[in-house]
Structure 1
Amino acid sequence: MTQSVVVQVGQCGNQVGCRFWDLALREHSHVNKKGLYDEALSSFFRNVDSRKGEGRTCGVGGRIQHLKARAVLVDMEEGVVNEILQGPLREVFDSTQLLTDVSGSGNNWAVGHMTYGSAYREQIVEKLRRAAEHCDCLQCFFLIHSMGGGTGSGLGTRVLSLLEEEFPEVCRIVTSIYPSAEDDVITSPYNSVLAMRELTEHADCVLPVENQSLVDIVSKIQHMSHGAKPGQVIRRDTAIISGRGGVSAAEKPFDAMNNIVANLLLSITSSARFEGSLNMDLNEIAMNLVPFPRLHYLVPSLTPLYTLADVSVPTRRLDQMFSDAFSKDHQLIRADPKRSLYLACALMVRGNVQVSDLRRNIERLKPSLPFVSWNQEGWKTGLCSVPPVGHSHSLLALANNTCVKPTFVELRERFTKLYRKKAHLHHYLHVEGMEQSCFSEAIASLGSLIEEYQHLDATKGTLMHDAPRLSISR
């Protein structure tokens, strides 16, 4: 059985990670009624017998003694990690998995990447190695971070490069939360563009999620939950809106947003955690969806997000789920993939869905989805038999699609507006190891990435005879 390690960096990374572990435990307890430590649990948890001392794991199939998450938590402010340690998940982590400081990165990529990255390099590597040593067969590192702040963007991408150095053969899948244009961190365009270069160079796959898209989804859920139309009632006991990620007034606005990202992680890891008739290996995501090594940004969409009471016919509901996965309302970035070009697409289905349902819906939708001519059959599918709690089935689509380009173009424009005035630049250049060339190299890297997507877009509807101008991935 393979195992994966989740690395949470910065305030946002740790808040999303906290929701993931909470919901993952809920899913496993829903399925694992006897409380046995089995292969499903071992993929993301280890079983520690506290009587025999820290670090010893019980064999698969034994009673659960004490579950520990396969995770490393890093933040240069103590607040969020301390909150986790005082909450219901405190028993799931121990001190060897945590790394905190008190002063934070001041919304400065350079402080996170250069200052803290250098000061804590050995400690970070030690914690990553320790997490890896607890795995029998380490398959993947999941990194969760945000792009706008200093620790998430700076130290997060430093951790990513350390993962490549220390574990070059282990897949690196990054979930990156992108700031909205109205972000209250004025330097977020600098942080995001500097981080983008690192993501392009060192990640195997990046799942971009935009804050604005999450805000739009949550506000739509809230609108519908208050009965926008007769019959449009949201079922409250669902994984998307339950617990601290729900729609009750007592919750903070970002709780529901974090919950959606946590559900993305639940879906992408479901094949590793549970049985299924068509399980998808995590390594297969990069292998099958990334034909060009730099173009590894996979647009995620989740469905159902809006669980309505008025869709009662099972087949209709199932077919609607597949249609929704390609609609712009269900994308986790503001994009319409049907109007852009697909390089490849993965469909990760959970619940009581047959292979025939999957194939029928792909055939139904294919004519409306523009794929590159040389990869018309570029579909990867996975079927996991265990649905999310509260649902009969769910679907995660990961689209390698040129629709990410507008997000990157907008980011470049926001960066350029600041950089042209040299606004706040001195805060970065005062950091040891940071030079102005870091900015010019980062914006050049982003420009090159945008051009590669533009080149593909320009070939839409042609035979693409010149496709090999882009270097083919391994």
Structure 2
Amino acid sequence: MTQSVVVQVGQCGNQVGCRFWDLALREHAHVNKRGVYDEALSSFFRNMDSRRSDGGSCSVGGKIQHLKARAVLVDMEEGVVNEILQGPLREVFDSTQLLTDVSGSGNNWAVGHMTYGSAYREQIVDKLRKAAEHCDCLQCFFLIHSMGGGTGSGLGTRVLSLLEEEFPEVCRIVTSIYPSAEDDVITSPYNSILAMKELTEHADCVLPVENQSLVDIVDKIKRMSHVGRTSSVIKTDSTVISGQGGLSGAEKPFDAMNNIVANLLLNITSSARFEGSLNMDLNEIAMNLVPFPRLHYLVPSLTPLYTLADVSVPTRRLDQMFSDAFSKDHQLIRADPKRSLYLACALMVRGDVQVSDLRRNIERLKPSLPFVSWNQEGWKTGLCSVPPVGHSHSLLALANNTCVKPTFTELRERFTKLYRKKAHLHHYLNVEGMEQSFFSEAVSSLSSLIEEYDHLDATKGRLMPDAPRLSIAR
């Protein structure tokens, strides 16, 4: 059995990560009624009860003190991590796997990447190594961070480069939360552009999630819940409304948004945590969905996003789930994949769904989805028999699609507006090790990425002899 380690960096990364661990424990408790420590649990949890190292009884739902998450929590402000340690999940995290400071990165990528990255390098590497040593067969690192703040963008991408340095053979899948245009952090375009260069260079796969998309989804679900029709009543154990997510205190406005991202992680890791007739190896995501090494940004789409009151699922609704996965409303970034080009696509299905259902829906949808000419059969599929709690089945689609280009173009435009005025630049250049050339290199890297997507769109994905930029991944 393989294991994976989740690395949570910054306020956003730790809040999303906390929701993931809370929901993962609920899923395992729902399936593993006797609370036996088994292979499914070992994929993301360690058994700390030495008396039961042979896989004996170890309660999941109640006495969880013997389970420790395979996680490393890093934040340069201690608030969120302290909140986690005072909440219901405090026993799930090993104190030796936590790293905090008190002052924060001041919404400055350079402080996170340079200052804290250098000061805490050895401690971070030590914690990553210890987490890896607890794994029999380490398969994947999941990094969760935001792009807009200082610690998430700066230290998060520093941690990413350390992962590549220390564990070059281990897959690195990054969930990156992108700020909206109305972000209250004025320097977020700087932070995001600087972080993008690191993601392009050091990640195997990036799952971009836009804050604005999460806001839109949550607002839509709230409107549906107020309609009052029986068919649109949201259950209390739904994807969005699911308790405190391991944090103490009242539900916060962004908890529902974090919960959607946590469910993305639940779905992508389901095949590693549970049995299925067609399980997808996490390494296969990068291997099958990334034909060009730099174009590893995968658009996530999740369905259903809520639990309907009637959970009986006729074929019509099952087919609708597949259609929804390719609609703009269920994507976690604002884009239209059907008007852009697919390089590859993965469908990760959970619940009582047959391989024949999967094949039938792929054949039904294929004519409306523009794939590159050299990868018409570029589908990767996974079937996990265990559905999320409160659902009969669910689907995560990961599309390597040129539709990410407008998101990156908009980001570059917001950066250029600030940079042209040299606004707030001195805050960055005053940081030891930071040079102005970092900005020009970062925007050049992003422009090059956008050009590569442009080239694919212009040629409709045909492999042209004059395409030196696009080297095939090996």
TM-score category, normalised to shorter length: over 0.9
* Alpha carbons of structure 1 residues 57 and 436: separation in structure 2 relative to 1, 3 Å: farther
The 2-side partners of 1:157 and 1:129 are apart by 17
The 1-side partners of 2:246 and 2:152 are apart by 25
Deviation at 1:249, TM superposition (A): 13
Say whether the 8 Å CA contact 1:12–1:152 is kept in structure 2.
yes
1:381 aligns with 2:381: yes
The 2-side partners of 1:461 and 1:292 are apart by 12
The 2-side partners of 1:122 and 1:466 are apart by 44
Q: Write out per-residue CA displacement over residues 212-263 of structure 1, whole angstroms, 9 at most, x where no aligned residue.
A: 0000000001111111667432233223432237999952110000000000
SS of 1:244's partner is coil
Deviation at 1:336, TM superposition (A): 1.1
Say whether the 8 Å CA contact 1:140–1:170 is kept in structure 2.
yes
Identity among equivalent pairs (%): 91
- Matching of residues 47-446 of structure 1 within 5 Å: 47-49=47-49, 66-227=66-227, 231-244=231-244, 251-309=251-309, 313-446=313-446
Deviation at 1:314, TM superposition (A): 1.4
Deviation at 1:95, TM superposition (A): 1.6
* Alpha carbons of structure 1 residues 247 and 233: separation in structure 2 relative to 1, 3 Å: farther
The 1-side partners of 2:227 and 2:57 are apart by 49
The 2-side partners of 1:250 and 1:220 are apart by 22
Deviation at 1:433, TM superposition (A): 0.2
Say whether the 8 Å CA contact 2:321–2:395 is kept in structure 1.
yes
SS of 2:232's partner is coil
Q: Write out per-residue CA displacement over residues 182-228 of structure 1, whole angstroms, 9 at most, x where no aligned residue.
A: 00000000000000000000000000000000000000011111116
Deviation at 1:306, TM superposition (A): 4.0
SS of 2:68's partner is strand
* Alpha carbons of structure 1 residues 33 and 312: separation in structure 2 relative to 1, 3 Å: closer
* Alpha carbons of structure 1 residues 60 and 461: separation in structure 2 relative to 1, 3 Å: closer
The 2-side partners of 1:302 and 1:469 are apart by 32
* Alpha carbons of structure 1 residues 106 and 250: separation in structure 2 relative to 1, 3 Å: same
* Alpha carbons of structure 1 residues 46 and 360: separation in structure 2 relative to 1, 3 Å: same
Say whether the 8 Å CA contact 1:36–1:64 is kept in structure 2.
no
Q: Write out per-residue CA displacement over residues 154-185 of structure 1, whole angstroms, 9 at most, x where no aligned residue.
A: 00000000000000000000000000000000
SS of 2:358's partner is helix
SS of 1:7's partner is strand
* TM-score (ref. length: structure 1): 0.95
Deviation at 1:94, TM superposition (A): 1.9
Say whether the 8 Å CA contact 1:214–1:260 is kept in structure 2.
yes
Deviation at 1:324, TM superposition (A): 0.2
Deviation at 1:57, TM superposition (A): 13
Deviation larger for 97-106 or 43-52 = 43-52
The 2-side partners of 1:313 and 1:270 are apart by 21
Gaps of 5+ in 1: none
* Alpha carbons of structure 1 residues 158 and 249: separation in structure 2 relative to 1, 3 Å: closer
Deviation at 1:305, TM superposition (A): 1.0
Deviation larger for 461-470 or 432-441 = 461-470
Say whether the 8 Å CA contact 2:105–2:112 is kept in structure 1.
yes
* Alpha carbons of structure 1 residues 249 and 172: separation in structure 2 relative to 1, 3 Å: closer
* Alpha carbons of structure 1 residues 313 and 120: separation in structure 2 relative to 1, 3 Å: closer
* TM-score (ref. length: structure 2): 0.95
Gaps of 5+ in 2: none
